[in-house]
Amino acid sequence: MNRTAFDFDRPRELEATAPPELRGVERDRVRLLVTGPAGTTHRSFRALPELLEPGDLLVVNESGTLPASLPAQGDAGTILLNICTEYGGGVWLAEPRWNVRSPGPIPLAPGARLSAGGVTFHAIGPFPGIERLWFFRADGDVTAAMRTFGQPIRYGYVSQPYPLETYQTVFARVPGSSEMPSAGRPFTSGLVRALLRRGVGTAPVVLHAGVSSLEGEPAGTEIPPIYPEPFDVPPETARRVNVTRAAGHRVVAVGTTVVRALETAWDGTAVVARRGFTRLTLGPGRRFHSVDGLISGLHDPRTSHLALLFAFAGEERVRAAYAEAVRERYLWHEFGDSHLIWGARAH
């Protein structure tokens, strides 16, 4: 996919640099841009129950955030090792970088060693097509090292570290994401209860999100390949998605991770129980089979997330909504505002 097709202007100052709680805004009081066939309106996230109908279903990502950023020592000195994905058998995909602000690349050769949190990481080789990510063989307990020495992954636009709870959603149950599945962040237990009273249930999937590190992407014109991520669509969720849609109600995915998990579980006729690793790319020309609406943060220009949104809701509708978001000074990134967008074919 050509990145320039997914470009737009978003002023730098619209990056959320701190959690809304620290700006005096409760999690579920961030702003909610609502985009449908009739155009775009502006609400508070807390108004979500009014925007859904009894019988609609929210599908949420239960993946919890890991303190995945480890200080590491190697030939290049003291660096950061941001753990991306566990492959099993002691093999991990990770992003070595200079620090929170500077992505690297770190000079690294196959066979080189990094030491992080008492674990030795042996460099195997780079991920094909994404040179900033490397496969490592770890001698030691990486999960324990993260628990003791790790911090939540952070980038330059977030001015200071925040505790791990800041990076957990109310749905977090299965630790495994390097970066928070942030679409779920504005939900509170109170809001989930209000949704239930409205007749809107939630159903879980798991997709462990890897690193995003957008600033580390090559300057090339192509969007880099999507790397595979672990996912699990359980039988009960598959069943409820099918039943909801068959009954004429709507399925709303909380996050692009949920869209990817559900679409990966589409077998051509229905959503089925499925787990494993997915590298499904949802871009131009893709038809969606499992989801009618999407709740998500605002996405950066030139990303695969934006390509997914264009395919899901139509480029014109998304561009109009994003122009409105910039005009109304919505905030971007994991601590920012939210967006409910109905698919091009939603009723």
Contact positions toward another protein, by CB under 8 A? Answer: 86-91, 93, 110-111, 122-125, 127-129, 135, 137, 227-228, 231, 264, 272-281
Measured from the CB of residue 267, what is the shortest distance to another protein in angstroms? 9
Decide whether 151 or 278 has the Cβ nearer to another protein.
278
Measured from the CB of residue 273, what is the shortest distance to another protein in angstroms? 8
Is the distance from CB of 299 to CB of 309 less than 8 angstroms?
yes
Of 312, 309, 311, nearest in space to 325 by CA: 309
Measured from the CB of residue 154, what is the shortest distance to another protein in angstroms? 26
* 5-39: burial string, b at 16+ Cβ within 10 Å, e else: ebeeebeeebbbbebbeeeebebbbbbbbbbbeee
Euclidean distance between CA atoms 64 and 246, whole angstroms: 31
Per DSSP (E only), the strands in 26-118 are 31-36, 39-44, 57-61, 63-65, 69-74, 77-88, 91-97, 113-116
DSSP state of 332: B
Amino acid in position 305: H
Decide whether 91 or 194 has the Cβ nearer to another protein.
91
Report how far apart, in Å, the C-alpha atoms of 259 and of each of 290, 299, 304, 319 are: 8, 15, 13, 20
Decide whether 41 or 281 has the Cβ nearer to another protein.
281
Decide whether 50 or 236 has the Cβ nearer to another protein.
236
Total residue count of the chain as it appears in this document = 347
Measured from the CB of residue 223, what is the shortest distance to another protein in angstroms? 16
Of 57, 104, 109, 61, nearest in space to 82 by CA: 104
Measured from the CB of residue 305, what is the shortest distance to another protein in angstroms? 17
Decide whether 127 or 310 has the Cβ nearer to another protein.
127
* Close Cβ partners of 138 (under 8 Å, ≥ 6 residues apart): 90, 91, 92, 119, 120, 121, 122
Measured from the CB of residue 86, what is the shortest distance to another protein in angstroms? 8
Decide whether 60 or 123 has the Cβ nearer to another protein.
123
Decide whether 24 or 111 has the Cβ nearer to another protein.
111
Asked whether the bond before 54 is cis by omega within 30 degrees of 0, the reply is no
Decide whether 129 or 284 has the Cβ nearer to another protein.
129
The three-class DSSP label of residue 278 is strand
- Token pair listed for 256: 């692009």
- The pairing of strands 119-127 and 130-139 is antiparallel
Q: Answer positive or negative: Cα dihedral of 11, 25, 210, 269.
A: negative
- Token pair listed for 71: 């200080």
Measured from the CB of residue 72, what is the shortest distance to another protein in angstroms? 18
Measured from the CB of residue 237, what is the shortest distance to another protein in angstroms? 15
Measured from the CB of residue 312, what is the shortest distance to another protein in angstroms? 17
Decide whether 18 or 272 has the Cβ nearer to another protein.
272
